[in-house]
Amino acid sequence: MNIFHYLNKQKDTFADTEINRLDWLVLSWFSYFNYPLELLDKPFKVSSLDRKEILKDKMFSLEASDGFNSRRLIKKLVRHNRYKDLVLSDFVRKTDISSTTQFACITIEINPNLHVIAYRGTDPSFVGWKEDFLLSYKKSIPSHQMALSYLETAMKKYQGDFVLVGHSKGGNVALFAYYQTSQENRARIKAVYAFDSPGFAFGFQDLPDYDIATLKVHKIVPKSSIIGMFFEKDPDLLIVDSSFVSIFQHDAFSWRVKGNDFKYKKRRTRQSKFIASRFNTWVESLSLEEKEKFTDLVFDLFYKTKANDFFTFLFQIPKYGPKLISLYKQLDLVDQLFLKRMVKSFQKAWFKKK
């Protein structure tokens, strides 16, 4: 059973039954939809999306890890007794190659005294993935600053409590905003839910109230988590069973549920531990300069292939693969040798004996 089984059984409104972890996951998915401009000038109910001219392809972003199920989800939510009367507002979306920014979020009003901010995860665009790579050598990426600014604006605009949610990079930027806002604001934030979200190469342990602040953080990962274990140093995780394998478990629609909660496992799989350990060891072995140069070189090559995004590149390998190889051969010898050295260092970390 997955999140759809829960939605089929759950008929109560939020006033009838307390919000649970499954609800927080569903709420995080509101960040993955592209809302029609005609609705964005003022707050609108979820039920107002229940029109054929709105529920069409352009509303569904490629950012969601499972586009088919994202379509199923919103079509169910617009008529669902628990979600249809929620109020959406303040949708923001920005994708910019020059500043390496891929960001989106939205505010959801549960009631006048509780607002949820849902942050979007990484899309398949090259700029989205490049921004993720920045996490390895920067204390702050562009989406972090946008997330923080959005949070502080929302907390001035709306009264009461807040909960921050996000899947994938969305959870990472939610955590950054939470830790970097003022202690006064953190007191109004009742919880942060990060679903299979990468951690931070640079932590927040120097915050004066760090130990107290972390009590509100709930990080949930699937049993074979890979994305969610990058740069992750906190062992206090909730581990969820999944019907998929390996990295495909990043798709939250594969997460198993039991009643009004997830179905949990006691520990992560060996594969998850192995891959995370090898990847994190490799990244930590590189200097900041090496990480930055590697990121710039690799993504410059991908940009020059003229593929729209990684989905396009992978689905049309016969077209774009040779272009990538040709572009690599056009690099000067120093850069070619640098990339070869990076690949060898990764292989060394990967095959290193315990």
Torsion sign (Cα): 154, 155, 160, 164: positive
Rounded to whole angstroms, the Cα distance separating 164 from 218 reads: 10
> Which pLDDT belongs to residue 68?
81
Tell me the pLDDT band of 293, cut-offs 50, 70 and 90: very high
Q: Which residue has the higher pLDDT, 101 or 54?
A: 101
First to last CA, the chain: 37
Q: Is the pLDDT of residue 57 over 80?
A: no
Q: Cα 38 from chain centroid?
A: 27
- Give mean pLDDT, residues 31-57: 84
Over residues 178-231, the pLDDT tens digits come to: 999 999 999 999 999 999 999 998 888 888 888 889 999 999 999 999 999 999
Q: Is the pLDDT of residue 99 over 90?
A: yes
> Which pLDDT belongs to residue 204?
86
Q: Is 196 left (phi over 0), alpha (psi -120 to 50) or beta?
A: left
Rounded to whole angstroms, the Cα distance separating 244 from 239 reads: 14
Helix (H, G, I), strand (E, B) or coil at 104: strand
Task: Indicate the range of 81-90, 103-112, 121-130 predicted with least confidence.
Answer: 121-130
Q: Residue ranges of the domains in the chain?
A: 3-279, 286-350
Q: Which CATH number is 3-279 given?
A: 3.40.50
> Which pLDDT belongs to residue 64?
47
Residues 77-100 as b/e (b if ≥16 CB within 10 A, e otherwise) read bbebebbbebbbbbbbbeeeeeeb
Tally the residues of the chain. Answer: 354
Number of neighbouring beta carbons within 10 Å of residue 176: 24
> Which pLDDT belongs to residue 150?
99
Q: How much of the chain exceeds pLDDT 90, in percent?
A: 81
Tell me the pLDDT band of 354, cut-offs 50, 70 and 90: low
pTM: 0.94
Q: What is the DSSP string of 189-217?
A: EEEEEEES----SS--TTSTTHHHHGGGE
> Which pLDDT belongs to residue 232?
85
Q: Is the pLDDT of residue 62 over 60?
A: no
Among 104, 144, 140, 122, smallest CA distance to 63 is for 122
Mean pLDDT, the chain, integer: 93
Do 247 and 227 touch, CB atoms closer than 8 A?
yes
Task: Indicate the range of 64-68, 226-230, 268-272, 280-284 predicted with least confidence.
Answer: 64-68
Among 252, 177, 190, smallest CA distance to 221 is for 252
- Beta-carbon contacts of 153 under 8 Å, excluding residues fewer than 6 positions away, are none
